[in-house]
Amino acid sequence: MKKLLLLFVVLSLFTLSSVGMAVEKGGDLVVGLEDDPPMLDPHLSTAKVDRQVFQSLYDTLVEANQNMEIVPGLAKEWDIEQDGTRYVFELRDDVYFHDGTKFNAEAVKFNFERMLDDKLASPRKSELDLITKIEVLSEYKVAVNLEKSFNPFLASLADRAGMMVSPTAVKEMGDDFANNPVGSGPFKFVEREIQDKIELEKFADYWKEGLPYLDTVTYKPFSDENVRVVNLTNGELDMIGEVPPKDLSKLKTDSGIEVSMASGLGFQGIWVNKGNMPLKDNDLAQALSKSIDKEAIVKVVFGEAAIPADSPYPPGTSMHNEEREIPGVDPVAAKKHLNKAGKPDGFELTLMVAPSPTAKQTAQLIQSMASNVGIDIELELLEFGTLLDRLTSGNYQAALLGWSGRMDPDGNTYRFFHTEGGLNDSNYKNEEVDQILDKTREVTDTEERKELFQDLMVHLDRDLPYIFVYHPREIKAFKDNVKGFTPYADGLLRLENVWIEN
């Protein structure tokens, strides 16, 4: 009897859905991530993979469009006053959090104060540190005052620092908020099983008219890249967030799979410890750099998944300089530098490498290329936590590790090359560079800013605190019945416009 009833229900659903199918966009999407997101609270998150889930759970005050330009988000419009030290945001009045509470100016104030609170120890604090005062001007108008003008401010509000969480939920849940996140994004949190899945469902009161289309989104972590790909081709997953370069051509020829590509925002290469011998010597660093054939590395390891790099500004971003050519491998010049440094027979170097397949392959290629000019590289494979520790404490000579990239060029430069930069693990100290970088944060004229970022390259080319090797492209793969997906340069999966066609 039960079975009959079930059959009846299934059949009637089938007829109903086939009638409505022509207009109805929906579906249940299963996304394979490269890791289990460690932290679902945007104000405490440090991992890139967290941001994939945040795109569905949270909204930002301002958003980035496909060209990585700032467009309105939760803030409809804004004025920058008092020489860039005061931002006045006009907020949308039709936004609700998933717990039913209203988003307003008080919520913005609460969120900023939460991130600035020492007790929370938020990684966002460094991005917002210049905030002196947040004023609620009216129900939907808020002003943020800065200590001094800071150009990248809006760009950081398009990312985790601009993600608004529900104040009511934070107050209720306290330390447990990350396990029951409440935002205002297109999907709301249902449940999570650590290392297994994160389930979200459509938020019916989402402020963007008619969106999202999908009924549910499930994120599943697959840390082994082969397993991730097999699960996609086998039909267990609808989409994967990170495609291993070696599988790219195979996936492209798979008839049931679509591959999307966007130029990325990040860079990969070699950290050079300028505080330590041997690479403290500019000539030795130059010799290493000149011995590396970037084209060959990209061809062998990455194929279409990356392009050779020569600066922190990938093609397609505002500061990219088309006229700069990627220098080819030059063993003669490398030898000259070695002679100049008084080491004509080369030198020994230890390179730290994280144990990912592509990193290992790249490191081995660099090792053999450098040996051609007499540089004897020893590879040191380290687990990520240990590598980070050594890098931060300056206890290394060189390290192969990159940066996922930010939409504003400031996010790809200041933190690495300014003496006071939070990520200056190269121990690079150059007063002229500091002055240039400080100025890029203050000037209002775009052309002037662009020139400053090009001036910076003169110093980086000479001193080589970092050897840029390649820019990874952002590649996503999904089943061909997944429609409406647009790739973005930041590599984040925006799912509000996506639906599954039956």
Partner 1 sequence: MGRYIFQRLFMMIPVLFLVTILIFSLVHLTPGDPALLILGQEASPEALSNLRAKLGLNRPLAVQYFSWIGDVLKGDLGESVRDNRSVSKTIFKKLPATMELAVLGILISIIISIPAGIISAVKKGSVFDYSSTLIALGGISMPSFWVGILLVYLFAVKLNILPPSGYVSPFEDLGRNLQLMILPSISLGIRMAAVTMRMMRSSLLEVLQKDYIKTAKAKGLAKKVVVIKHAVRNSLISVLTVIGLQLSAFLGGAVITETIFAIPGFGRLVVQSIFNRDFPMLQGSILIMAVMVITVNLLVDIFYTFLDPRISAGGETK
Return residues touching partner 1 (CB under 8 A): 36, 38-39, 44, 46, 118, 121, 123, 125-126, 175-176, 178-179, 193-196, 220-224, 226-227, 230-231, 233-234, 236, 383-386, 388-392, 415, 422-423, 425
CA distance 21 to 106: 42
Burial class (CB within 10 angstroms; exposed 0-12, middle 13-18, buried 19+) of 147: exposed
State in angstroms the smallest separation of the CB of 182 from partner 1: 15
State in angstroms the smallest separation of the CB of 499 from partner 1: 24
Determine contact, residues 398/350, Cβ cutoff 8 Å. Answer: yes
* Three-state DSSP state, 336: helix
Integer angstrom CA distances of residue 313 from 124, 154, 263, 403, 419: 23, 19, 11, 12, 20
Element (H or E) spanning 244, and its range?
Answer: none
Cβ closer to partner 1: 226 or 249? 226
CA angle 359, 360, 366 (to 5 degrees): 90
CA distance 440 to 444: 9
State in angstroms the smallest separation of the CB of 44 from partner 1: 8
Cβ closer to partner 1: 376 or 420? 420
Determine contact, residues 216/454, Cβ cutoff 8 Å. Answer: no
State in angstroms the smallest separation of the CB of 452 from partner 1: 22
Cβ closer to partner 1: 234 or 253? 234
Cβ closer to partner 1: 22 or 119? 119
Cβ closer to partner 1: 309 or 391? 391
State in angstroms the smallest separation of the CB of 265 from partner 1: 17
Determine contact, residues 232/477, Cβ cutoff 8 Å. Answer: yes
State in angstroms the smallest separation of the CB of 175 from partner 1: 5
Cβ closer to partner 1: 360 or 390? 390
Among the listed residues 120, 125, 15, 103, the one whose alpha carbon sits nearest the alpha carbon of residue 59: 103
Element (H or E) spanning 192, and its range?
Answer: strand 187-193
State in angstroms the smallest separation of the CB of 125 from partner 1: 7
CA distance 365 to 343: 23
State in angstroms the smallest separation of the CB of 238 from partner 1: 14
CA distance 114 to 163: 12
Distance of CA 175 to the CA centre of its chain: 26
CA distance 52 to 194: 16
* Three-state DSSP state, 7: helix
**Token pair of 155, please?**
């760009």
| Phi, psi (rounded to 5 degrees) for 432 | -60, -40
* Three-state DSSP state, 94: coil
State in angstroms the smallest separation of the CB of 234 from partner 1: 5
Cβ closer to partner 1: 15 or 234? 234
Length of the chain: 502
Cβ closer to partner 1: 378 or 389? 389
Cβ closer to partner 1: 84 or 123? 123
CA distance 137 to 79: 13
Cβ closer to partner 1: 118 or 325? 118
Cβ closer to partner 1: 184 or 424? 424
Cβ closer to partner 1: 226 or 444? 226
Element (H or E) spanning 302, and its range?
Answer: none
State in angstroms the smallest separation of the CB of 447 from partner 1: 29
Residue ranges of alpha helices (H) inside 34-163 are 48-57, 105-116, 125-128, 153-157
State in angstroms the smallest separation of the CB of 468 from partner 1: 18
Distance of CA 338 to the CA centre of its chain: 37
State in angstroms the smallest separation of the CB of 350 from partner 1: 16
State in angstroms the smallest separation of the CB of 429 from partner 1: 18
Cβ closer to partner 1: 20 or 38? 38
348-364 burial code (b ≥16 CB/10 A, e <16): ebebbbbeeebbbbbbe
| Count of CA atoms in the C-beta half-sphere (13 A) of 279 | 30
